[in-house]
Amino acid sequence: MPIKYKIGVAKLPRFYYVENVELELLKRLGLAIALGLLVGIEREFSQRREGEPLFAGNRTFALLALLGTISGYLAAQISPFILFGALLIVGALIVISYFLSVRTAGHLGTTTEVSALLTFLIGVIIAAGELFFASVTTIALVTLLALKPSFKALTGKISYEDIFATLKFAIISIVILPFLPNRTFGPLEVFNPAETWLMVILVAGLSFAGYVLVKIVGPQRSIPLIGLLGGLVSSTALTVSFAQRSKQNLELSRLLALGAVIASTTMFPRLLIEISAANSALLPKIVFSLTSMMVAGLIAVGWLWRMERSRQQTTEVQFTNPFSITPALKFALLFVFILFVSKAALDFIGTRALYFTAVLAGLTDVDAITLSVARLARESLEASTATRAIILAALSNTLMKGAIAFLLGARIFGRQMALALGLVLLAGVIGIVLV
């Protein structure tokens, strides 16, 4: 049992008792100093780089965070007026400093002053025991501060058309979606308005995110990254987005094909993770086939990457309005149609048509059929049958993306995708024969 020491003879709150809680207090104070220093180092470096008047350096920001932690803790132990008073003092210092900098140097920016106030509040958050929240808030704050040059560069490149496109995307994603019913309608009950509209948002959102990244870092860096991240969400939707973009910017067709193939290759490790979660006993049977398709995709990625690096970009690429709802709506209609056909095949032909159903389901969503078949394999379905069904779904999905590339994309985009995905299909066919 820990020994308690009481300081003085007055009736003091628990804060003055020396207990095991000391270690927790030291941890919070140490975190406050560390997070305050992190913000302060960035602010001091930024102010010196841009020639701004030095409002506060790393020590001041560390002290602000420490003051927030101490005042927040004492407010909980003694009186909330302690925190209120500390906040008034900090606010007064920030206001005085701002007016002095405006008067002496003519500096009108408030970024450092707002950062100082947030640093004090981060200390208060630490005092409340929300250490993770305080750390995440600090990381977000420092990231926003450090990205100032990128934001300034982006602001200089955007146009009124870009702002209008952003508003349209916000309308379809935020305003319309909440009002759509999240239940099925129509024949066979496969049409879900909310789910279908989410697909529209996904396709449009990938296109819009790609446009923003291209504006910031350029196409050579951003498109492969979008392909990798988009493949974790929906490689089919990303292929639709990139195919549409290839028609608008023919100069980027090969690079967009590279991003789409990266997204398609990402599908195979994702499927292995899903199978291991649903039925790990199925992994030894299917790992060779899916790994072979992934390796074939990586070979295609390497080939396309080498071709793109050797090709000299001689013309400047001009980008237009990134938001286009028409291709996204076409994909949503196709999505609903394939869902209807798949459900009809399952209802009217029966479970014996598993392979046929897997092919149809794979045209739109390979994840759903993979998880369903993997679960069935735990109960009544043979492992070899389940493996063939999953591989057929993956082959069907790959073939669908090739068709999308030809129908919606530029000619060079479709040709590059056909060569790359053809190699993946060949590996999948060999894998299904060997099962």
Exposure class string for 43-78: b at 16+ Cβ within 10 A, else e? bbebbeeeebeebbbbebbbbbbbbbbbbbbbbbee
Reading the block at residue 57, the tokens are: 């350096």
Reading the block at residue 387, the tokens are: 């493996």
pLDDT tens across 230-256, in order? 666 667 777 887 888 888 777 778 888
User: Is pLDDT larger for residue 377 or for residue 325?
Assistant: 377
Computed over every residue of the chain, the mean pLDDT equals 76
Residue 314 has pLDDT above 50, yes or no: no
Q: What is the largest CA-CA distance in the chain?
A: 87
Distance CA 102, CA 96 (A): 10
Q: Quote the pLDDT of residue 359.
A: 83
Return all residues near 101 (Cβ < 8 A) that are at least 6 apart. Answer: 53, 55, 107
Question: What are the counts of helices (DSSP H) followed by strands (DSSP E) for the chain?
Answer: 17, 0
Q: Is the pTM of this model over 0.85?
A: no
Return all residues near 233 (Cβ < 8 A) that are at least 6 apart. Answer: 202, 206
Q: Nearest 5°: phi and psi at 321? A: -50, 120
Residue from 239, 248, 235, 241 nearest 208 by CA: 241
DSSP 19: S
Q: Quote the pLDDT of residue 251.
A: 78
Q: Quote the pLDDT of residue 373.
A: 75
Question: What's the N-to-C CA distance of the chain in angstroms?
Answer: 64
Q: Could you tell me where the DSSP H helices lie in 325-365?
A: 325-349, 354-362
Residue 213 has pLDDT above 80, yes or no: no
CB 107 within 8 A of CB 52: yes
Exposure class string for 149-174: b at 16+ Cβ within 10 A, else e? eeeeeeeeeeeeebeebbebbeebbe
Residue 21 has pLDDT above 70, yes or no: no
pLDDT tens across 399-426, in order? 888 888 888 888 888 888 888 888 888 9
Residue from 429, 425, 421 nearest 239 by CA: 421
Residue 86: CB atoms within 10 Å: 21
Reading the block at residue 323, the tokens are: 């938001």
Average pLDDT over residues 48-75: 80
User: Is pLDDT larger for residue 165 or for residue 241?
Assistant: 241
Residue 115: CB atoms within 10 Å: 24
CB 13 within 8 A of CB 76: no
Q: Quote the pLDDT of residue 126.
A: 92
SS (H, E, C) 55-115: CCCHHHHHHHHHHHHHHHHHHHHCCHHHHHHHHHHHHHHHHHHHHHHHHHHCCCCCHHHHH
